[in-house]
Amino acid sequence: MIYGDKNTGILVQGATGRQGEFHIGLMNAYAKQVGGKGVVAGVTPGKGGQQVHGVPVYNTVKEAMKHHDIGAAVIFVPAGAAADAIMEEANAGITVISCITEHIPVQDTMRAIAYARMEGASVIGPNCPGLLSPGEVKMGIMPSGLFMRGNVGVISRSGTLTYEVVDELTRAGIGQSTVVGIGGDPVIGQTFADVLERFENDPQTKAVVLVGEVGGNLEEEGAKSTNLPIVSYIAGVSAPPDKRMGHAGAIVEGGEGDARSKIARLKKHGIPVASRVSEIPEMVRELFRCRC
Amino acid sequence: MKLREYEAKNVLREAGIPVPAGFLIRSADELTPHLGALGDAFVLKAQVDVGGRGKAGGILMAGKADGTKVATELFGKQIKGLPVKEVLAEQRLDIRHEYYLSITVDRSSKQPLILFTEAGGVEIEITAKEHPELIRNVVANPLMKDLPPFMIRELIGTAPKEIGPVINKLYRIFIEKDALLAEINPLVTTPGGVFAADAKIIVDDNALGRQGITVNRDLSEREREAEKHGFSYVELDGAIGVIGNGAGLTMATLDLIEYYGGKAANFLDVGGGAESERVMNAVRLVASVPTVKVIVVNLLGGITKCDEVAKGIIAAGISQKVIVRLAGTNEAEGRRLLSEKGYEMLDTMDLVVRKAVQVTA
């Protein structure tokens, strides 16, 4: 696993909001199931002293850090406050920060990520479902029922499309080591290359499924950076140019970042690219066949 | 959202970047009071929300004598199908040299990327391909309010030093106006100094509120309607309507339609929390597209309540066929409700898409 395990205590920023409360419940249900620590503290300014599903809430991250052993944070605060939340956590010394929040202005994201980098923190997202290492830890909103422990890593810019891929893998009997949703915004913290580097140092991960989409060229950049066997899928072959396809970052601009040229470049680097999600399990099996 | 040229130039002017003297007019008659200030030769530029307006006849040269006549001609035109409602009448510049300057969001470095070339007057994409060595670039730490002088020196090279302050002012605009793109093309030198002859600013859609922009002009009427419901929506031109949850899954559904030889009518991401009213609104919106013959609903999520979704589809009561793939909780109940009303519910996205393509074939 990467980014955390059973022993990682999680802080939730925006703990008393609807989303925060709901997902603290789900994260801790999962922690209970796998024998992990789960969410140990929440933060909402002005709501210190309250409890959410038995989890104590503090006014500031630093206050929470005084009372708990915290290794990671998950952010559910509204878009206008999310960049500030990233910086507060990085400043307090939390090194793994998943930001679920969508619609953060990109200038705010750039500043928060630049600041987090200076503080030595890794930001996953924003606009992402977080991550899940089956049997170990869930930091975010992924539906754990679809997952199965194994040795295939998944990195994706999407949410539900990731669940679709995981569902296909699990049905085919292919388990996952860690599944990371890196987010659908143009500027994100951890990129494909960053997560792949972690997977390379993770003895559990033997192969990786890389789920990309239109916009930018981070898929190619990532795929070139690793020696791990990869299967890829790129969404948006039918996306028209200059239209934002749901995600702020999913846009073909100035004739760049379209799915077909991404797929062509990945194939040029020898990476198999699935044309349909349902082809992915068989292509992953093929990777393992080649290696033995 | 893309600002119109005159809006972008107002932003530049307020920031202290010189722009040509210009006046916005909404009819040919409105030109008369400005004829004196515009001088003997000036330019009339249609302010339409479309690219490539110059080649489409949206920019005309005019003089004191024929100004009103040329303006009347321009107001009577359609530029790429759009009527001309606003025209920028602008002083003509005595251009000595053209430069290109832009600031964009660089996804790889996660920082603002500033591009400058002394080889202006040519499309930047062409220069980038044929003479990349002529384009100088720096990435700036977004925590800095101003560009350090060394970065500006690196950018301008042998170009006139008076361009330096323009670069820093554009950088400030980029940050303060929540821009995804701030571009001056061309940035020109004249005997009267440096001027931004044309300008383009794209404002981050996620920051329109705090930039005081209430209506996103880049959206079509149906896209705006979709936005009100909290959907992401893009109109295409096929016969298969698509509703999915999550941008990636919805895109993958469109791709699958293409894979099986069909054509999608739209992209609609219904977003999180697919309760029945939301689903009903989505189905009705897609059904209102004239080309739609069949609708594919593809929803997946550990916490999607299938019975709620089924109720929404049924409540929409539309005439077109709806083919559904649902995975989540209460699947059996959802399936029962749908089949009772004659809707088809299939197990995988491959199956629903193949079925929809068959229906439209």
Which tens digit of pLDDT belongs to each residue from A108-164? Answer: 999 999 999 999 999 999 999 999 999 999 999 999 999 999 999 999 999 999 999
CB-based contact B155:B60 (threshold 8 Å): no
CB contact under 8 A, A143 and B210: no
Look at residue B38 in the predicted model and tell me its pLDDT: 93
Looking at the fold, whether A184 and A59 belong to one and the same domain comes out as no
C-alpha distance from A227 to closest chain B C-alpha (Å): 20
Q: Where are the CATH 3.40.50.261 domain residues in chain B?
A: 221-360
Choose the mutation target among B176, B251, B347 for the interface with A, i.e. most A CBs under 10 Å.
Answer: B251
Which tens digit of pLDDT belongs to each residue from B151-193? Answer: 999 999 999 999 999 999 999 999 999 999 999 999 999 999 9
Pick the CATH number of B221-360 from 3.40.50.261, 3.90.950.10, 2.60.300.12, 3.30.450.20: 3.40.50.261
Tell me the pairing of strands A39-43 and A55-58.
parallel
When pLDDT is averaged across residues A208-221 and rounded to a whole number, the result is 96
Nearest residue in chain A measured CA to CA from B179: A107
C-alpha distance from B359 to closest chain A C-alpha (Å): 20
Nearest residue in chain A measured CA to CA from B327: A164
Look at residue A148 in the predicted model and tell me its pLDDT: 97
Q: Is the confidence at residue A201, as pLDDT, over 50?
A: yes
In the structure, what pLDDT confidence band is assigned to residue B273 with cuts at 50, 70 and 90?
low
C-alpha distance from B34 to closest chain A C-alpha (Å): 37
Pick the CATH number of B21-91 from 3.40.50.1820, 3.30.1490.20, 3.40.50.720, 3.40.50.1970: 3.30.1490.20
Could you tell me the CATH number of the domain that includes residue A262?
A: 3.40.50.261
Choose the mutation target among A22, A86, A110, A192 for the interface with B, i.e. most B CBs under 10 Å.
Answer: A110
CB contact under 8 A, A184 and B248: yes
The CATH class of B97-207 is: alpha beta
Looking at the fold, whether A103 and A187 belong to one and the same domain comes out as no
In the structure, what pLDDT confidence band is assigned to residue A292 with cuts at 50, 70 and 90?
very low
Looking at the fold, whether A110 and A151 belong to one and the same domain comes out as no
Q: Is the confidence at residue A55, as pLDDT, over 50?
A: yes
- Asked if A255 has any chain B CB less than 8 Å from its own CB, the reply is yes
Asked whether residue A197 is assigned to any structural domain, the reply reads yes
| Packed helices B306-316 and B331-340: angle between N→C axes, nearest 10 degrees | 20
- Asked if A95 has any chain B CB less than 8 Å from its own CB, the reply is no
| A positions 16-55 inside 8 Å of B (CB) | none
Q: Is the confidence at residue B54, as pLDDT, over 90?
A: no
- In terms of Cα–Cα distance, which of A264, A197, A191, A274 is closest to A228? A197
Q: Where are the CATH 3.30.470.20 domain residues in chain B?
A: 97-207
Catalytic residue IDs of A:
247
Instruction: Please list every residue in chain A whose beta carbon sits closer than 8 Å to the beta carbon of residue B301.
Output: 143, 160, 163
Choose the mutation target among B127, B218, B255 for the interface with A, i.e. most A CBs under 10 Å.
Answer: B255
Give the up-direction half-sphere exposure of residue A124: CA atoms within 13 A in the CB hemisphere: 33
Alpha-carbon B307 to chain mean position: 37
| Three-state secondary structure readout of chain B | CECCHHHHHHHHHHCCCCCCCEEEECCHHHHHHHHHHHCCEEEEEECCCCCCCCCCCCEEEEECCCHHHHHHHHHCCEECCEECCCEEEEECCCCCEEEEEEEEEECCCCEEEEEEECCCCCCHHHHHHHCHHHEEEEECCCCCCCCCHHHHHHHHCCCCCCHHHHHHHHHHHHHHCCEEEEEEEEEEEECCEEEECCEEEEECHHHCCCCCCCCCCCCCHHHHHHHHCCCEEEECCCCEEEEECCHHHHHHHHHHHHHCCCCECEEEECCCCCCHHHHHHHHHHHHCCCCCCEEEEEEEEEEEEHHHHHHHHHHHCCCCEEEEEEEEECHHHHHHHHHHCCCEEECCHHHHHHHHHHHHC
User: Which residues are paired to A176 by β-bridges?
Assistant: A152
Look at residue B120 in the predicted model and tell me its pLDDT: 82
How far is residue A290's CA from residue A215's CA, in Å, rounded to a whole number? 31
- Token reading at B132: 């990349």
Which tens digit of pLDDT belongs to each residue from B223-263? Answer: 999 989 989 999 999 999 999 999 999 999 999 999 999 99
Q: Is the confidence at residue B50, as pLDDT, over 90?
A: no
Asked whether residue A190 is assigned to any structural domain, the reply reads yes
Asked whether residue A259 is assigned to any structural domain, the reply reads yes
Choose the mutation target among B50, B102, B105 for the interface with A, i.e. most A CBs under 10 Å.
Answer: B105
Measure CB to CB from residue A254 to each of B125, B210, B269 and give the nearest one.
B125
- Chains A–B, number of C-beta pairs less than 8 Å apart: 158
Looking at the fold, whether A279 and A175 belong to one and the same domain comes out as yes
When pLDDT is averaged across residues B213-218 and rounded to a whole number, the result is 91
Q: Is the confidence at residue B124, as pLDDT, over 90?
A: no
Asked whether residue A255 is assigned to any structural domain, the reply reads yes
Domain range for residue A80?
A: 10-124
A267: Cβ contacts below 8 Å, ≥ 6 apart:
A273
Nearest residue in chain B measured CA to CA from A213: B248
When pLDDT is averaged across residues B115-140 and rounded to a whole number, the result is 89
Look at residue B37 in the predicted model and tell me its pLDDT: 92
Tell me the pairing of strands B59-63 and B41-46.
antiparallel
Fill in the amino acid letter for B249: L
- Token reading at A120: 């030595």
CB contact under 8 A, A111 and B143: yes
Q: Where are the CATH 3.30.1490.20 domain residues in chain B?
A: 21-91
Looking at the fold, whether A31 and A107 belong to one and the same domain comes out as yes
Look at residue B306 in the predicted model and tell me its pLDDT: 85
Looking at the fold, whether A153 and A272 belong to one and the same domain comes out as yes
Asked whether residue A136 is assigned to any structural domain, the reply reads no
User: Which residues are paired to B193 by β-bridges?
Assistant: B190
Asked whether residue A4 is assigned to any structural domain, the reply reads no
Looking at the fold, whether A112 and A46 belong to one and the same domain comes out as yes
- In terms of Cα–Cα distance, which of A13, A114, A126 is closest to A72? A13
- Asked if A218 has any chain B CB less than 8 Å from its own CB, the reply is yes
**Mean predicted lDDT score pLDDT of chain B:** 93
Nearest residue in chain A measured CA to CA from B353: A276
Instruction: Please list every residue in chain B whose beta carbon sits closer than 8 Å to the beta carbon of residue A187.
Output: 105, 107, 110
Q: Looking at the 3D structure of chain A, how many domains does it have?
A: 2
The burial of B85, by beta-carbon neighbours within 10 Å (0-12 exposed, 13-18 middle, 19 or more buried), is given as: exposed
Could you tell me the CATH number of the domain that includes residue A105?
A: 3.40.50.720
Question: What ipTM was reported for this prediction?
Answer: 0.95
- Report pTM: 0.94
C-alpha distance from A242 to closest chain B C-alpha (Å): 11
- CB atoms near residue B132 (< 10 Å): 10
Nearest residue in chain B measured CA to CA from A189: B110
In the structure, what pLDDT confidence band is assigned to residue A290 with cuts at 50, 70 and 90?
low
Looking at the fold, whether A148 and A286 belong to one and the same domain comes out as yes
Percent of chain B, pLDDT > 90? 79
Looking at the fold, whether A149 and A283 belong to one and the same domain comes out as yes
Look at residue B221 in the predicted model and tell me its pLDDT: 87
C-alpha distance from B11 to closest chain A C-alpha (Å): 18
Look at residue A1 in the predicted model and tell me its pLDDT: 83
Looking at the fold, whether A151 and A60 belong to one and the same domain comes out as no
Catalytic residue IDs of B:
100, 183
Asked whether residue A5 is assigned to any structural domain, the reply reads no
Choose the weakest-confidence range: A273-282, B118-127, B311-320.
Answer: B118-127
Q: Is the confidence at residue B303, as pLDDT, over 70?
A: no
CB contact under 8 A, B251 and A255: no
| Three-state secondary structure readout of chain A | CCCCCCCCCEEEECCCCHHHHHHHHHHHHHHHHHCCCCEEEEECCCCCCCEECCEEEECCHHHHHHHCCCCEEEECCCHHHHHHHHHHHHHHCCCEEEECCCCCCHHHHHHHHHHHHHCCCEEECCCCCEEEECCCEEEECCCHHHCCEEEEEEEECCCHHHHHHHHHHHHCCCCEEEEEECCCCCCCCCCHHHHHHHHHCCCCCCEEEEEEECCCCHHHHHHHCCCCCEEEEEECCCCCCCCCCCCCCCCCECCECCHHHHHHHHHHCCCCEECCHHHHHHHHHHHHHHHC
How far is residue A99's CA from residue A93's CA, in Å, rounded to a whole number? 16
Looking at the fold, whether A287 and A146 belong to one and the same domain comes out as yes
Measure CB to CB from residue A114 to each of B111, B256, B349 and give the nearest one.
B111
